[in-house]
A = this chain, B = another copy of it.
Amino acid sequence: MGAKLDRLKEILGEVADLNSAAGLLSWDQQTYMPEGGSQARGQHLATLGKLAHSKATSDEVGKLLEDLKAEYANADTGSDEAALVRVAARDYDKAVRVPAEFVAEQAIVSTAAFEAWTQARAKSDFRIFLPHLEKVLALVRKYISFFPPADHPYDTLLDDYEPGMKTAEVQAIFSALRPKQVELIRAIAARPQVNDKFLLRKYDEHKVWAFSADITRTFGYDWSRGRMDKAPHPFETSFSVNDVRITNRFEADKPLTTIFSAMHESGHAMYEQGVNPSYERTSLAHGASLGVHESQSRMWENLVGRSLPFWEYFYPKLKKAFPSHLDGVGLKSFYKAINKVEPSLIRVNADEATYNLHIMLRLELEIAMVEGKVDLNVLPEIWKDRMREYVGVVPPNDALGVLQDVHWSYGSIGYFSTYALGNLISAQLWERVTRDVRGLDDQIRKGKFEGLLNWLRENVHRHGRKYEPQDLVLKATGSKITAEPYIRYLTSKYSDIYGL
């Protein structure tokens, strides 16, 4: 019994090593690799991926898992060993269902689709992308066909990102959320807008970078087990619980977004740094799901990083670093500026109040596409109608509308909802943590984050992939994922800021 589990762990450990190596190669590709290195890097990554896949899907692994599932069928399901067998079996079952030829076909289709999308967006012409989207969608349906029928075909896609989560659950949550959020932004739109001009002045890149790094250190992101490098897009990546890196960028026209990106990515990074070290190189390493991961990044970025208590501590420091930029700008004005609500066309630039509406629009379209209930020809028009209805603005062209996101071009359907789920989970955890950790606001006002971080470590981080997201949230908060805490959070925050 022990021997079989040991052998499984040995093989999966090697798979994890190959994936970690690939992770470093990808990180390097985004940070330091000279341009000439790109073709060979693709080759190296392909070989590592192929070896990892063939190891992970070997007959030996299948046989070991068969035996271990039987052995652990009656074991304490709460034990790490039982969880490991369960999660490893889930990964294995998924990996073996998808034929290698399909993966190869998908790579070819999505490479062409990505090219077409780039062109289509540049020319703002959806028709260039349309035939490729059709092919992508056909492959997505084929992918679904490799799996046993679910309650809803979209379940299969969602499960890759949010294990165990059902489309019906997400729809129910979002149905509760949408009218409230639409109502909120209509109320805000009726109020005078806040001034944020002073955020857009010319800030020194190195000072902003250093200030951002300091915040992540104060949060508790351990720099002896991490670092922050420059990359075209901010992201977090980890090669072990003791080497969890983030990247960031500086955009001269939006200088302070570097600070919020650092908070966001360090939220992801602290999650990875907090996973039980004994899960290292097993199927239980890393985060429970994309949604739970996003709950951590959003919590540190928004519930902490855009809160008044946080800036009571950090604003004097920011003013010291940039005295002339913020001269005469009081704390409350700064706080309002970083929380300004402005219904806009582009998801990635959306504020907290409107962000989820962008997501819901995409989720509804994705579900309809998978169901075959939407004529792809009219997608741009549907997009415009929904934007008007939900967000209150209408894209003047496809580039600012249906073509704005890259995800569909490489077949990532089922992914968007995790962004919105992350927001909901963050507020749900927050309601609980503010009850469990006494005087949390006061701690934050003093720049102390151990109380918060320890709670997250204990209730979320350390569990890694042991629990499915719904179970993890239930364990941590006493309820499955629900929209109410997030609605309460937004309403209270914006009522204060906009005097609703």
Residues of A within 8 A of B (CB): 13-14, 17-18, 20-22, 24-25, 28, 32-37, 39-41, 43-44, 47-48, 51, 222-227, 229, 239-243, 245, 280-281
Residues of B within 8 A of A25 (CB): 21, 24
Residues of B within 8 A of A240 (CB): 37, 39-41
Residues of B within 8 A of A48 (CB): 17-18, 21
Asked if B43 and A243 sit within 8 Å, CB to CB, the answer is: no
Of B33, B44, B226, the contact of A34 (CB 8 Å cutoff): B226
For residue A245, which residue of chain B has the nearest CB? B34
Asked if B40 and A20 sit within 8 Å, CB to CB, the answer is: yes
Q: How far is the CB of A472 from chain B (nearest CB, A)?
A: 25
Q: How far is the CB of A445 from chain B (nearest CB, A)?
A: 30
- 21 of the cross-chain contacts (CB-CB < 8 Å) are A14-B47, A17-B44, A18-B47, A18-B51, A20-B40, A21-B25, A21-B44, A21-B47, A21-B48, A32-B227, A32-B229, A34-B223, A34-B225, A34-B226, A34-B243, A34-B245, A36-B225, A37-B242, A40-B241, A41-B240, A43-B281
CA A214 to CA B40, docked complex, whole Å: 26
CA A13 to CA B227, docked complex, whole Å: 33
Most buried by B among A224, A229, A240: A240
Asked if A239 and B44 sit within 8 Å, CB to CB, the answer is: yes
Residues of B within 8 A of A223 (CB): 34
Residues of B within 8 A of A24 (CB): 24-25, 28, 44
Residues of B within 8 A of A280 (CB): 40
Asked if A239 and B34 sit within 8 Å, CB to CB, the answer is: no
Residues of B within 8 A of A34 (CB): 223-227, 242-243, 245
Asked if B37 and A225 sit within 8 Å, CB to CB, the answer is: yes
Asked if A37 and B243 sit within 8 Å, CB to CB, the answer is: yes
Asked if B36 and A242 sit within 8 Å, CB to CB, the answer is: yes
CA A40 to CA B285, docked complex, whole Å: 13
CA A41 to CA B243, docked complex, whole Å: 9
CA A47 to CA B281, docked complex, whole Å: 12
Residues of B within 8 A of A241 (CB): 40
Q: How far is the CB of A360 from chain B (nearest CB, A)?
A: 39
Asked if A243 and B21 sit within 8 Å, CB to CB, the answer is: no
Asked if B227 and A36 sit within 8 Å, CB to CB, the answer is: no
With A24-B25, A24-B28, A41-B243 given, can you name 18 additional A-B contacts, CB distance below 8 Å? A17-B43, A17-B48, A18-B47, A18-B48, A21-B21, A21-B44, A21-B47, A24-B44, A34-B245, A35-B224, A36-B224, A36-B242, A37-B239, A37-B243, A39-B240, A40-B240, A40-B280, A41-B240
Asked if A51 and B227 sit within 8 Å, CB to CB, the answer is: no
8 closest A-B pairs by CB? A37-B243, A40-B240, A36-B225, A36-B242, A17-B47, A17-B44, A21-B21, A36-B224
CA A275 to CA B281, docked complex, whole Å: 37
Residues of B within 8 A of A21 (CB): 21-22, 25, 44, 47-48
